[in-house]
Chains A and B, each alone.
Chain A
């Protein structure tokens, strides 16, 4: 066991523990913050595996954007800040979910450990550098990359179209409600802002 593996095991334990806390915590804000820890330490795992750019993208997109979206959504849906038992399903469903999760983990880990066996790999950090990733993305992967940009545009438009307030038949009422700082305009305008 060398230093790289020690760092990897530490980060993996941190990832697993914070992920487990993110799905079991009774406070919604704690869930989102444990998700930050989980995704951040996953970026460290990617660094150990020699994928710098993936680690950077993970930090930028996941920790920077997705978690902020999740926190926005938690606040816009007026999730309870204090500890709440209503975040989880009943004990029966939780037990079944735990069984499903443990079963999936056992099946996957068994298959993968059987497949990987005792094999080791040399981590080559130059394969995850910006130059090699850039050459790969704008070389062989350029068509999927462009398709992905179309997908992002479609998702942007879809999020805007979904979260737009539907025009109500009672038109005289809308100007009066939009001037007063009632919660209704806040919930109808903020989704547009965060979808951008």
Chain B
């Protein structure tokens, strides 16, 4: 026996934390962490719904009655939770590829620094691989790469 209030409060708290992370973060990768927390809040609710009997909340037997034996053979909640996890994995793969593309084009993952997308932006570079850029711009970035990889 477990009270349903616990998972409900946990899912709401995770959703609130995820929204805070989405809105308050500046680094694009950390914004994605907020999105992951939001998806997990949905998952908690799905798994909780899967613990209910087949009729949902209305089918929960009263404390005096015998528990009903009718269960959902499709296990919608748990299967949907697995699907959501899969979609989240696909989503973060594409999203991180976009973040890497943004970083390659602008040399920053700071979302407030990217005010305009496309050629109107002052930080737009025609050649995102950095071959046309002055050497001074690429050199400190190169020095920071081994430090990031070694930690």
In contact, A118 and B10 (Cβ under 8 angstroms):
no
What 1/0 flags go to A62-90 for Cβ under 8 Å of B?
10011001101111111101000011110
What 1/0 flags go to A31-70 for Cβ under 8 Å of B?
1100100110010011011110110011001100110011
- Chain A, interface SS category: helix
Cα distance A121–B51 in the bound complex, in angstroms: 7
In contact, B148 and A49 (Cβ under 8 angstroms):
no
B5 contacts which chain A residues (CB < 8 A)? 113, 116, 118
B79 contacts which chain A residues (CB < 8 A)? 133, 136-137, 141
B interface residues, Cβ below 8 angstroms from A: 1-30, 32-34, 36-37, 40, 43-45, 47-48, 50-53, 57, 60, 67, 71, 73-75, 78-79, 81-83, 85-94, 96-101, 103-104, 109-110, 112, 127-132, 138, 141-142, 144-145, 147-149, 151
- Chain B, interface SS category: helix
What 1/0 flags go to A147-163 for Cβ under 8 Å of B?
01001101110111011
Partner of B110, one of A86, A106, A188: A86
Nearest chain B CB to A21 CB, angstrom units: 10
In contact, B30 and A12 (Cβ under 8 angstroms):
no
Q: Considering only CB atoms, which chain A residue lies closest to B46 in the complex?
A: A54
B36 contacts which chain A residues (CB < 8 A)? 35, 39, 62, 66
Cα distance A46–B84 in the bound complex, in angstroms: 14
Q: Considering only CB atoms, which chain B residue lies closest to A34 in the complex?
A: B33
Do A108 and B12 contact each other (CB < 8 Å), given the known contacts A45-B44, A61-B85, A133-B75? Answer: yes
B141 contacts which chain A residues (CB < 8 A)? 78, 183
Can you list 18 pairs linking A and B with CB atoms under 8 Å apart?
A23-B37, A45-B47, A51-B50, A69-B92, A76-B148, A77-B28, A81-B151, A87-B27, A88-B25, A89-B24, A96-B23, A105-B15, A155-B94, A165-B128, A173-B131, A187-B100, A187-B104, A194-B96
A29 contacts which chain B residues (CB < 8 A)? 151
A74 contacts which chain B residues (CB < 8 A)? 29, 148
A118 contacts which chain B residues (CB < 8 A)? 3, 5
Cα distance A86–B26 in the bound complex, in angstroms: 7
